[in-house]
A and B are shown apart, each in its own frame.
Chain A
């Protein structure tokens, strides 16, 4: 198990790599295992770093360039760590015609980041998505797993406070 010594002198054990091995083993036999593995790897590590992708590439006998090609093709995969809370504003049609772009604008202002940006304190990452399937409640946004429907831009500071 890879370990390292922290500056404070304590030994840190990182067992995520063993877990990644298990994930790979679990899926290896199936055809088209790459994407299911990347999903679980991202869940485990928070993002698909170069090392994670290399490891998966070698384990599956796929070239790293191709794994990178897959990881960058799908917007669900991220190469860089995201903030603690992911804010996803729906910019699907239903939400758009009900003013979702105002929400994005308000969030950008409130958080001081662009879309796909992470706040300096690492607390929030702002993303836009296309339809969360809750169109009836447009405009919709999600923070983590919580869905907020009929969001008004002026409510944003209040909502964000829940995540302080």
Chain B
């Protein structure tokens, strides 16, 4: 890239930063550069996601590698005039650690320093809309080597020896899958890329497609050569318009450069690639459902065997791999399987991209070697829990996965250990939860999700997820019964054992794993009608802390149902109403009653009539003295 330019400003154009307004920043920069007459000297490049989306819009100025975060269009002037003209980085836009230390270089920031980028090697570094930038970073060299120097068997052998396992969830050995497809007898064969990325809370595939689409295109052509296929499909979810646009653009460029289409590199190998856009169904990430969807049908999974490797699209042998799996292929070919197998653990080779989200300080995308512990990811890279709160658990594998509690923070993140803990790698979504998260509520959330997304074909999943959700709902609404936990366990294991596809077979995982590690929370909901985290609306109640209350009356005026009264709980009980309410908050109320009123004795103390309160939380938000408590 640009020998002509003395500096490059890489502005992140990933979806996260786009929503934070990076496009306007880019415009401002360009016009400022033009104004200063620097537009011939300094090039602004829009890249894919740099990983630190919550700091967006982010940018890096090269050659120095200065990292700016939360840049606004107004900042463009300073960046150009101070930094690019006078060489003085703009301090206020630099990264600050929690210790208020200022860090200038991207590679010195913990979040980036501890990562190892294989899949994301080009993301945030190249312009995804310019194929020459990909080529300049050895792009399409692996394909050239595969087509000119290697036999298909050799390619498969390298992939097998590398130890690469599928990144779409189940971790099936990729080389083995390629071999099955290569050996399958039907013709034609197809290569499919699963870019449905349905796990809510995961966005690594999106970032690869947006930031480095050619890596997937190149890998699919390599796969086509290896298994003997000349037609590929990328199935992308409709929710990713930017990824679709970038991929479309990249495919067109690849055709222009003769890297797709007929007679690639003059080797006689043809490979065509087409995009198919999903239409909003999580189950279409499941491979047989995905194939049905490409065929134009309802995305209902079908039993396996036959496996897609033998009978896939239109009944023909079909190789289906995940985006991240493909993105690993070119470097494996270029650097050799030994290099790849040298990263990671014995049974999980290479790196894994995680989407860090939830109650964590640094959210975003991180790529680490397999076997990195959860603690390193959460604390060293993720910067710990938001607001200095306590780590409670991390959910991996989304709705199919499970949670890992604090006592297992030192678990190495690899396929098999996670399964042993009752969680799973899944696609790499990593949602961090703190003490303010109710585990029963989270289990219910995931089950609501799988219930909504169940295709409805088989009974255990269609009716079973509903039955489990019914039970969870009654638990969170205070109607839980003795025996409900056991019933959930029974249903969960049966559904796992009988459902047709992976969706149903894993749907009970979040429930079973939260029961496994947080059984006491379930018990508190059922037996004490209490939500320890204060989340389940039906089980929380609001109370006025008499020692903090100034009796200003603001809450009383704002309560939509006039639930705040001067009558005491005791009076209420005497009058024969609100016994239950009084009962429920007996502890809290009496505590309040003993403490000294903090304000004018002229006004009467206020109490919340629990019978009437609809738990809207307005009073708590209104009170300026933090005198209202939710528990």
Direct contact of A and B (CB under 8 A): yes
List A residues at the B interface (Cβ < 8 Å). 30-36, 38-39, 62, 66, 69-70, 73-77, 90-98, 129-138, 140, 145-149
Closest-by-CB residue of B relative to A38 is B279
Contact (A93, B281) CB under 8 Å given A70-B296, A76-B238: no
Is B398 part of the contact surface with A, judged by Cβ < 8 Å?
A: yes
Contact A31 B279 (CB under 8 A): no
Near A by CB (< 8 A), chain B positions 285-312 give 293-299
Contact (A135, B203) CB under 8 Å given A76-B238, A93-B431: yes
Contact B18 A97 (CB under 8 A): no
Question: What residues of chain A lie closer than 8 Å to B15, measured between beta carbons?
Answer: 132-134, 147
Is B53 part of the contact surface with A, judged by Cβ < 8 Å?
A: yes
Partner of B433, one of A75, A97, A138: A97
Instruction: Give Cα A35–Cα B274 distance, bound, in whole angstroms.
Output: 14
Is B240 part of the contact surface with A, judged by Cβ < 8 Å?
A: yes
Is B449 part of the contact surface with A, judged by Cβ < 8 Å?
A: yes
Contact B431 A73 (CB under 8 A): no
A36-B277, A76-B280 are known; give 18 further A-B pairs, CB within 8 A. Answer: A31-B295, A32-B295, A38-B279, A73-B298, A73-B299, A74-B279, A90-B200, A92-B201, A97-B359, A97-B437, A130-B449, A133-B197, A133-B203, A135-B203, A135-B363, A137-B16, A137-B19, A149-B16
Is B30 part of the contact surface with A, judged by Cβ < 8 Å?
A: no
Contact (A75, B281) CB under 8 Å given A39-B238, A93-B201, A136-B53: yes
Question: What residues of chain A lie closer than 8 Å to B278, measured between beta carbons?
Answer: 74, 76
Question: What residues of chain A lie closer than 8 Å to B513, measured between beta carbons?
Answer: none
Contact A94 B239 (CB under 8 A): no
- Distance from A150 Cβ to chain B, minimum over Cβ atoms (Å): 8
- Distance from B130 Cβ to chain A, minimum over Cβ atoms (Å): 23
Some 10 contacts from A to B, beta carbons below 8 A apart, are A39-B277, A76-B278, A94-B429, A97-B359, A98-B359, A132-B15, A134-B19, A135-B203, A137-B20, A138-B357
Is B54 part of the contact surface with A, judged by Cβ < 8 Å?
A: yes
Ranked 9 nearest A-B pairs via Cβ: A92-B200, A147-B19, A136-B53, A94-B357, A74-B279, A76-B280, A34-B296, A93-B201, A131-B200
Partner of A36, one of B276, B299, B445: B276
Question: What residues of chain B lie closer than 8 Å to A130, measured between beta carbons?
Answer: 198, 200, 282, 449, 453
List B residues at the A interface (Cβ < 8 Å). 15-16, 18-20, 52-54, 56, 197-203, 206, 238-241, 274, 276-282, 293-299, 314, 355-359, 363-364, 395, 398-399, 429, 431, 433, 437, 442, 445-446, 449, 453, 455
Contact B431 A94 (CB under 8 A): yes
- Distance from B245 Cβ to chain A, minimum over Cβ atoms (Å): 12
Closest-by-CB residue of B relative to A105 is B616
Contact B239 A132 (CB under 8 A): yes
Closest-by-CB residue of B relative to A34 is B296
Instruction: Give Cα A76–Cα B431 distance, bound, in whole angstroms.
Output: 26
Contact (A35, B445) CB under 8 Å given A129-B239, A131-B202: no
Contact B199 A94 (CB under 8 A): no
Contact A70 B298 (CB under 8 A): yes
Closest-by-CB residue of B relative to A74 is B279
A36, A70, A95, A133 — which one has the most chain B CB atoms within 10 A of its CB? A133
Question: What residues of chain B lie closer than 8 Å to A90, measured between beta carbons?
Answer: 200
Closest-by-CB residue of B relative to A96 is B445
B200, B203, B437 — which one has the most chain A CB atoms within 10 A of its CB? B200
- Distance from B292 Cβ to chain A, minimum over Cβ atoms (Å): 9
Contact B281 A131 (CB under 8 A): no
Instruction: Give Cα A147–Cα B239 distance, bound, in whole angstroms.
Output: 12
Question: What residues of chain A lie closer than 8 Å to B282, measured between beta carbons?
Answer: 130
Instruction: Give Cα A134–Cα B278 distance, bound, in whole angstroms.
Output: 19
Question: What residues of chain B lie closer than 8 Å to A30, measured between beta carbons?
Answer: 274
Contact (A131, B20) CB under 8 Å given A32-B295, A93-B358, A96-B445: no
Instruction: Give Cα A107–Cα B356 distance, bound, in whole angstroms.
Output: 27
Contact B364 A136 (CB under 8 A): yes
Contact A135 B297 (CB under 8 A): no
Partner of B358, one of A32, A69, A97: A97
Question: What residues of chain B lie closer than 8 Å to A62, measured between beta carbons?
Answer: 296
B15, B276, B437 — which one has the most chain A CB atoms within 10 A of its CB? B15
Instruction: Give Cα A66–Cα B298 distance, bound, in whole angstroms.
Output: 9
Closest-by-CB residue of B relative to A91 is B200
Contact (A131, B19) CB under 8 Å given A74-B281, A76-B279: no
Question: What residues of chain B lie closer than 8 Å to A129, measured between beta carbons?
Answer: 239, 280
Contact B200 A148 (CB under 8 A): no
Instruction: Give Cα A34–Cα B298 distance, bound, in whole angstroms.
Output: 11
Contact B442 A75 (CB under 8 A): no
Contact A32 B239 (CB under 8 A): no
Question: What residues of chain B lie closer than 8 Å to A138, measured between beta carbons?
Answer: 357-358, 363
A77, A98, A137, A138 — which one has the most chain B CB atoms within 10 A of its CB? A137
